[in-house]
Amino acid sequence: VWSLPAAPVWPRMAGARLDFGLLLEPLGFIKVLEWIFAIFAFATCGGFQGETTLLVSCQDVVNKTVTAAFAYPFRLNTVVLSAPDPNFCDGTWTDVYLEGNFSSSARFFVTLAVLVFLYCIAALVVYIGYKHVYNQNRRFPLTDLAITVITAFLWLVSTFAWAKVLADIKMSTGASIILGIESCKAPGTACYFAAVTSMGALNVSVVFGLINMILWGGNIWFVYKDTNLHNQPNRISQSP
């Protein structure tokens, strides 16, 4: 007697109840905004690439272009303004490195944005499918509140640190770099600053950091309302 194999037992989502209507409530709607603006924050900063350009004249060479390309995470001290050929200016031109290593602040900002992006996905899964479990277990709202407070503070610190570093990056890639180039001070050699890639995307990343800081700071109240810290005083006041 042949018998059919038993049907595989798939793991069930423990009590999952999908409710996309929660996305229209403040708690879920703000979380969606936090998720979106976290993407904008790390994309505008982490995806930046630029270059700074000088025009060098010496002996028989007139306005020869010398460039240095830089990008995230902005270790400018590894970026070199190199001669276009070894015999440039009769070999008197020496490679010049830009100044500053700004990778720590840039990586802090981008890493925070990526972690926030991942946390928002996990939080939205809980809000949509397990909100009843979230409400029944008081540890979940308290954990969510603690993470929200810490994240708002980290957005504050990372955004202002990144804004300060961005100003330093502009200085290290701007016209002031000519003052530190010894080859430009040689007799018969003249250097002129030509251009640097627009850093509008990096300016926008600072704006997105501020928006994220405001969103997470404002969300503290809505997360707090779901905790027993807020509900307990209400129960006491309503009891006879």
Domain membership of residue 9 (yes or no) is no
CA pair distance 225, 113, nearest whole angstrom: 25
Closest to 18 in 3D by CA, of 33, 9, 28: 28
Structure tokens at 239: 């009891």
Beta-sheet pairing, 49-58 with 96-97: unpaired
Split into its structural domains, the chain has a count of 1
Q: What is the pLDDT of residue 16?
A: 61
Q: For residue 123, what are the domain limits?
A: 23-227
Residue 15 lies in a domain: no
Q: Is residue 104 part of a domain?
A: yes
Across the chain, which has 240 residues, the per-10-residue mean pLDDT values are: 41 58 81 95 94 86 86 93 74 82 95 96 88 78 91 97 95 89 83 92 96 95 78 48
Are the C-beta atoms of 130 and 106 separated by less than 8 Å? no
Domain-located, residue 153: yes
The answer to the question of residue 235 being in a domain is no
Total Cβ atoms within 10 A of residue 9:
6
Q: Is residue 7 part of a domain?
A: no
How high is the pLDDT of residue 232?
A: 54
Structure confidence at residue 170 (pLDDT): 94
pLDDT of res. 239: 46
10-32 in b/e form (b: 16+ CB < 10 A) is eeeeeeeeeeeebeeeebbebbe
Pairwise CA distance, residues 126 & 44, whole Å: 28
Tell me, yes or no, whether 126 lies in a domain: yes
Distance CA 88, CA 84 (A): 7
Does 172 fall in a domain? yes
pLDDT at 231: 54
Taking the CA atoms of 146, 118, 47 and 217 in sequence, report the sign of the dihedral they define.
negative
In this prediction the pTM is 0.82
